Every structure is written in C-alpha cells, then in structure tokens.
Structure 1
C-alpha cells in the first residue's frame, strides 16, 4: 500500500472516530434532554445538504481551532458543518418525536368506515389508487384502471394512512431516543407497536388480502402489497429502541411471531407471489420489504442469497444499457416512477452492503447499473425536463432526486453530482415554497452520516 493511500485511510479513520466521539448519543439518565439551542432565524435559514462545504480543506473544531485536512472525495468529516447540521437535525427529529408522543389518536384497521369483503374489520384494506368507476356500467362496477390518475376515493379507507403514519412515528420515536435517551419515546413506540400488531381489539391480521381492492372484485390486487413496504422504517428503529431498559422483550416476541406469519403470507399467497414477479418498481419494493423482514427475523443466510438475486434481477431486467428504467418510463408519471424505483434500488444496495455485496457498482451483462440509472436522469433534471423522451404528466419535481444525488456523490465521489446539487438546490427550495413537496434536509443529513460512519442509520430517500 502506498504512503498516500495509507495517509488517506488514516485521516478517514481519525475523522470517523472524531465524529463518533462528538456526536455519539449520550445517556441522559432521568434528566430531560433539552432541545438544541436554536440560532436566530434558524428555521428560515435551514442548512442544506452535507455537501455544502465538501470542497473545503480547512475546518474549525468546537473550540474554534482551525485545522487543515486532506479532502478525500467527501469522506472527511467537516466538524463545523456537521455540528451545525447535527443540531438542526436533532431539533427537527425531537420536534417530530414530541408530536408523536403527544398524539393520542388511535391507529387501527378496525376504524375504517367500510368492511372488506371478508367482513372482518381486522383485515387490512385499501382501494386501488388508479381505479375509477366504469362509465359504461350502470353501477360503475367493477372499477377500471386509469394509470397516472389517482382516485381521491382512495383516502376514504383509512387503513393505508394509519399504517404509514404508524411506521413514520415509530421511526421518529426510535431515532429521537437514539439521540436523546428520553425513555418516554420508547414507551410511546411500544404502545404504537402493540396497538397495530398485538392488541386483540385493534390489531391487524398478518395479511394484505384486501390491499389494492378494486370495487366490484372479490379480493385485493397484487399491487396493494406495496402498501406495506415502508415497514423498513419501523424495523430500522427497533434495534435502537432495544438500548432502553424499558424495552419489553415480550412485545418483540409477539411482533416477530406476527412478522413471521406475514412473511409466510408474502411469499406463499397468490397476491404476494404475483407482486414478487412484477417487473417494475412494485417488484423492487417487494424485494425491499422481503429483505428487511428476513433481516429483522435474523434469517441472515436467506437474506444474503435473496439480496444478491434481487439486485441482479432488478438491474439486469429493469435498467437498459443507457440507464433508462424502461418499465418506469412506460408509465404516464414516468419521471416520478424513475426516481421512485431508484430509491428502492438504493435501499437494496445499502442492505447488500451489510452482507458484503457491492450492489452500488454491480453491472449487468450489458453494463446496466444503478449509477447509470442515476446518470440517465441527470441532464433532464438540469434542464427542467426538456427533451425527456417519454410521456410525463406529473412534472419534474427535484427534491427526491437531489437526495439521490447527495448519496451518489458520497458513494461514487463524482464531482458532477456535487455540481448538479448546487445547481438544483434553488429549484428544490422553490418547490418547498410552493408547497409541492417538503424536502426534509435533516433526513438527508442522517443518510449521509449513515454512509460516512459505517451505516449506523438509514432513514432517508423519501
């Protein structure tokens, strides 16, 4: 190994150790952990992504001392930038956790205003998002598909909204506990898990037989399996909640039994098997869901085999040599689904890392790769979608794609991603101001730190 490489490796190791020393969560015991002190106008000048100062080689430590470090393609921790973003992230995270803690609403499948065909209120139910009454039928049944045009009736069945909110709140509570050690967050997270999965009065049955339900049919549709994919949010938080002495092992025993039964349904039912064979983002996120479940259930050998095959299948079949994701660009909302499928591929590649598999740089037989899929979108992002080769009815929102670019810069070290982020950031801010989509930069911060410090956390993308 050359002296230069040894020097860079040593600098990186020292930087990570320094970061962990400064930012590793403290145990506050029974004392209340105060919110970080807010600087004046902080909410109006929220810092952008971590890469703001990535080119600098001079940093200022917490005592005001300036130090010079070798800039090693984004892997050097710039303490002054990190500290500022860390405080902002913790503030926003704790704010979200406080809201979740104070929220006494009940989340349960039993509260939906209409029953599924089974007549069992404990069966999860959602309506097909893109299905509408058939105008050629007197009663409009069965509903027919109009891809790209969501039916607002979708939100009249509350299970989907409650499920997503429960996953998000448990995630926020778990990560807030990790950074503050406030035990009340653990208690609230356990209450939410019990309410949705274990309590006899409110629990969900471990299947999605009526997810994606199309009125006029007897059961759900395979695409409804996608409803559950954000289970990864909750499953990421549970290892952090286990640090608490209040964590109830009986809850986890019950949850693992539920997840085992659900995984069996996912992999053996007609709906689950059908979704696994989907060739677009539905198949990708089926793999994400199954992989996180295997990981949580400690079926590690199966998970390693599964993720390797999943990456090969989704990259080889879902990405062209040009980087175009052709099954996503067939959709009327082609930009949205191209970004969405990339998010799933990033999650698969991140999980693969844990099993010693480099999904980031895997290439298919014709050179297909995740990086090529990122690069295919880049020129259109920089030109407001001009020249986009296929139909797109939903516009070209940039917030989610900018998050992908941030991670791509850290993963691949290509300066073009940094330059694109700097150019696109004003557009993302304009989108926020217009209320199109709120990009949560604190999520980006956690993402970046996850990749820079042995993937301790992974909370981002969307």
Structure 2
C-alpha cells in the first residue's frame, strides 16, 4: 500500500500527472464526458423493477442473456441459445450500473487531469444514492442476478454483472484525498464494498463463481482484487495474487498464449478479448514494488505478455483470425481494449499503444460495453 499512498499524495499535490501521451489521446473525450456527468441525476436499482424478480426494491436483478422462451409456450421454463442475446430480458439494473460506472469513471478521470473539486462534489451525489441513502441504495449482494425464468431466481454466474462497479471503487480511490470528499460518505462507501466482499467470498454463489474455469473465474478475481484494494484488505489481495499464479494462468492459458475455453465458445473472438482484458486488469491492480504479475512466468514460459502477443495480431488485423467467427457482434470488436494500453504502458510497446489509440474509446453498443470492464484507463495508471 505504501506505493499507492505515495502516488496519491503526488497526484493531489500537483507533482504527478498521468503519462502525457495517454492524456493527449483522452483529454478531450474525458472532459466532454465529465461535462455530461456533471449534469446527471443519480439512477439506482430502485428506479425500475421487474415483476419476475424474487428480490425486493433494493436488490439488483438481471436475467441470463442467452435464455429464451420455448416458441409457442411463453410460460414454459426458458431454454438456452448460447451466444444469442434475448432482447426481451430485464437489463435495466445492469444499464443503471453501467451508467453509474461511466459517471464516476468520467468524473474521476477529469479530476485526475485537472484537480478541479467540482468533479468530486458531483460524484458524491451518485455514491450516496447507490451506497448510503436508505431510500435508494443497492443491497451489497447479488442473489438475484442472471435469473432464468422457470429455473433459477439467481445464479453465481450473475456476479459478473458487477464488473461495472470496479471503476466506481477505483474512481473513489483516485478522488478520496480531495478536501471536499465527505469522510462519512467515504467510510460508508468503503463499508458497502467490505460487505459485498464478505458476500462474494462466503456465499455459495460467490464460491461457485470463484471456481469457474473460464472468464467468470477470471472476473471474480478481478473484481475481488479491485474491491480489496479499495477497502485495504491485504489478505484478499494476497489471495487474488496467488489465485492468478496458481489457478487462472496455468488453468486457462495454452502454450501459445490463447484461451482454449474461450475459443470453444460461440463467440470465441469476443470472449478471448474479454478474458485477456480481465487478466491484464488483474495484473494492473495487483502489481506493485513487491509483486509483479506482469513479469510472472510459469515454468513452461506462459505469461500475460504471451497472451497479449497471441491476440494482438488479430486486433491489428481481424481478417486474419483463424478460428470461427462469433455468432453475434462480430463487427463490433475490437475496441480500445485495456490490455493494449496496460501492456503498452508496462513494456513501452508502441505498436500496442498505436492500436489502442486508433480504436474506439467510447463504444456505444450495449454488448460491447457490457463486456468492456475498463473504459477509463487514466484512473488505473
């Protein structure tokens, strides 16, 4: 934690700025999006409900994306069509959370660039609504996420929906030393994330997701790492580092740097990008002066860098992709993926930086946004 504290002190004393080339790319976008965010009123899970939810007003609810009614039998239990999204499923809470993430990410990014306290003041309205205001807050659990009509009121697989709270926690970490940040609110937000971590690590849904073999297991570690860093839970940070070294990297990456479990899906390109983004974000969160996951190497040579080197050519030129095309959303990928900028920033790889620079930084398609965990890289660097 010492290096984090030192960096934060430098940030807020004006002695430190993010890498200039990255700021040069993002400044106009960040300030524009932050201007939008300044005008937004909070919208939480209490703003809209669904009669199919087994939870209450304050419970996050979503439905499995790839589950559909049986044709001609709308009241029957839903059946799966892997990779094909049902547009009639309830996603309002997920969209509200993504909007919340976008607001906090934009305000924190603008604050990091400018130091203007107005961005911190605006962020606190949303943080209070989601985490401490008893009329509008969300309960710190995910018992009713990715439900399936006629089958499950919620599933551990739904925990992936809260990847969009990572930039909220990280945004608060960037802004928390500002003089205008209310200390009571800050402790309330931190308590909410401590409570959520307790649920994530003890509830059967959380344990199921932790043990998932594919991108779901990766995203569990990524989320827990982000929230544990915010709450200063060193025990969980150590657990996540070990999980990456002992489970994720050896269990998911092939010798060539690919992810076979993602390649076997009906959307192999999109899921490969998504899983690499998540693994690279884990390395970004958990690496410090004492632990460098970016350079961690298995005995057979597998590293996160090998994963980026495998996928990068197909980001630079998707037409060379040698596997089957995704059944949906093929044209929407790639975008400005975090693995590109985190990897470029770590190893000074200009090809990766230039690819990140030219790709879309503000994708508008809901499926892309849903599967892009980091959209405000400045707050992570």
Are 2:66 and 1:144 aligned? no
Max Rg structure? 1
Are 2:334 and 1:398 aligned? yes
Displacement of 1:335: 0.6
2-structure distance, mates of 1:162, 1:311: 34
The number of residue pairs the alignment matches comes to 366
Q: Secondary structure of 1:211's partner?
A: strand
Question: Is residue 311–residue 348 contact of structure 1 (8 Å, CA) maintained in 2?
Answer: no
Question: Is residue 113–residue 157 contact of structure 1 (8 Å, CA) maintained in 2?
Answer: no
User: Whose RCO is larger (CA < 8 A, sep 6+)?
Assistant: 2
Displacement of 1:87: 5.4
Partner deviation per Cα, 1:296-346 (whole Å, 9 max, x = no partner): 111124312422322331110100111110111111110111111111111
Displacement of 1:117: 3.9
TM-score (norm. length: structure 1): 0.70
- Alpha-carbon distance change, 370 to 198 in structure 1, aligned in 2, over 3 angstroms: same
TM-score (norm. length: structure 2): 0.84
Partner deviation per Cα, 1:186-227 (whole Å, 9 max, x = no partner): 222111011111111111111111111111134212221001
1-structure distance, mates of 2:304, 2:296: 8
Q: Secondary structure of 1:392's partner?
A: coil
- Alpha-carbon distance change, 97 to 384 in structure 1, aligned in 2, over 3 angstroms: closer
Question: Is residue 230–residue 289 contact of structure 1 (8 Å, CA) maintained in 2?
Answer: no
2-structure distance, mates of 1:319, 1:419: 23
Are 2:251 and 1:317 aligned? yes
Are 2:355 and 1:458 aligned? no
2-structure distance, mates of 1:345, 1:115: 36
2:45 equivalent among 88, 94, 109: 109
Displacement of 1:375: 2.0
Question: Is residue 25–residue 178 contact of structure 1 (8 Å, CA) maintained in 2?
Answer: no
2-structure distance, mates of 1:437, 1:138: 31
Question: Is residue 398–residue 424 contact of structure 1 (8 Å, CA) maintained in 2?
Answer: no
Partner deviation per Cα, 1:340-387 (whole Å, 9 max, x = no partner): 111111111112212622212222243222122222224444553335
Displacement of 1:433: 12
- Structure 2 unaligned runs (5+)? 1-9
Are 2:164 and 1:237 aligned? no
1-structure distance, mates of 2:117, 2:269: 42
Are 2:48 and 1:126 aligned? no
Question: Is residue 25–residue 357 contact of structure 2 (8 Å, CA) maintained in 1?
Answer: no
